[in-house]
């Protein structure tokens, strides 16, 4: 596990001669083991911020630290993070076990260790009876759990979630939300979870970052944000019906 520090993080995208600043200096200190939700309307920069923490997008200014390390220049694989996306592409020809084991095989983790880690993850995610199946023989929710299992087995210091529930129907979304909470209770891995859904944010967050147009409008517990919104944007966004 590790803390995450964002120091005046800036992002500019360049298109030809034009440059467009989409993140305007975000500061946040996230403690070891916290579950943080980044919430805000579509286009406000949530994915960009998350992708910079992941190392999938270069930062244009400031620093990102994971634990004591400044990771600005590190490749994604060197950052000790695992990411769960909305579109959880599984390998269709591989079993559930092999899907979860694949990254570890590539990393040359010993076979016994791979089996132990996959079994542990399958236990937490209730996938133990499905390890021999192929993705097409699973429900949408089960597939999403395999995608999470694939992230867990890597034993990352940090989990990054980018709207992992938005492709699921309401019932499955609620169920998967409970699974993510259980996962966090059991493993306590520092997590950044992005969503545009206020209700999802309120239910999952220990603390939440409310974003608007590339700025962090407020960083606080759901109770603080709801009861004492820092700006009129936060008040109207959090007060709006889901």
Give me the residues that bind ligand ADP (CB under 6 A), please: 13, 15, 20, 22, 40, 42-48
| Partner from Mg ion, ligand ADP, none binding residue 42, C-beta < 5-8 Å depending on class | ligand ADP
Question: CA 139 to CA 224: how far, in whole Å?
Answer: 38
Per-residue three-class SS string for 208-238: EEEEECCEEEEEECHHHHHHCCCCHHHHHHH
| Partner from ligand ADP, Mg ion, none binding residue 188, C-beta < 5-8 Å depending on class | none
DSSP summary character for residue 177: H
**CB nearer to ligand ADP: pick between 203 and 215:** 215
**Residue 47 binding Mg ion, by CB under 5 A:** yes
161's CB contacts (< 8 A; 6+ apart) are 83, 84, 180, 191, 192, 193, 194
**CB nearer to ligand ADP: pick between 90 and 209:** 209
What is the closest distance, in whole angstroms, from the C-beta atom of residue 6 to Mg ion in the complex?
Answer: 17
Yes or no: say if 30 and 4 are a contact pair by the CB < 8 Å rule: yes
| Partner from Mg ion, ligand ADP, none binding residue 48, C-beta < 5-8 Å depending on class | ligand ADP
What is the closest distance, in whole angstroms, from the C-beta atom of residue 227 to Mg ion in the complex?
Answer: 27
**Residue 218 binding Mg ion, by CB under 5 A:** no
- Nearest CA to 192 out of 48, 30, 64 is that of 30
Yes or no: say if 85 and 56 are a contact pair by the CB < 8 Å rule: no
**CB nearer to ligand ADP: pick between 142 and 195:** 195
Binding site for Mg ion (CB under 5 A): 47
């Amino acid at each position: 596990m590790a803390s995450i520090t964002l120091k005046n993080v800036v992002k500019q995208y360049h298109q030809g001669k034009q440059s467009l600043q989409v993140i305007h200096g975000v500061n946040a200190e996230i403690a070891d083991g916290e579950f943080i939700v980044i919430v805000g309307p579509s286009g406000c920069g949530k994915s960009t911020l998350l992708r910079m923490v992941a190392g999938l997008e270069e930062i244009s200014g400031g620093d990102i630290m994971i634990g004591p390390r400044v990771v600005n220049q590190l490749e994604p694989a060197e950052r000790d993070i695992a990411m769960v996306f909305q579109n959880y592409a599984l390998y269709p020809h591989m079993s559930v076990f092999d899907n979860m084991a694949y990254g570890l095989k590539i990393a040359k983790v010993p076979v016994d260790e791979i089996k132990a880690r996959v079994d542990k993850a399958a236990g937490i995610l209730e996938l133990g009876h499905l390890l021999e199946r192929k993705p097409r023989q699973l429900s949408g929710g089960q597939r999403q759990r395999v995608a999470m299992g694939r992230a867990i087995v890597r034993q990352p210091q940090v989990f990054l979630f980018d709207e992992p529930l938005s492709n699921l129907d309401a019932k499955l979304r609620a169920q998967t939300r409970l699974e993510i909470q259980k996962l966090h209770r059991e493993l306590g891995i520092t997590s950044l979870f992005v969503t545009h859904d206020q209700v999802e944010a309120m239910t999952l967050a220990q603390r939440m970052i409310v974003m608007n147009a590339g700025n962090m409008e407020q960083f606080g517990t759901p109770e603080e944000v709801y009861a004492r919104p820092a700006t009129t944007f936060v008040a109207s966004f959090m007060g709006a019906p889901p």
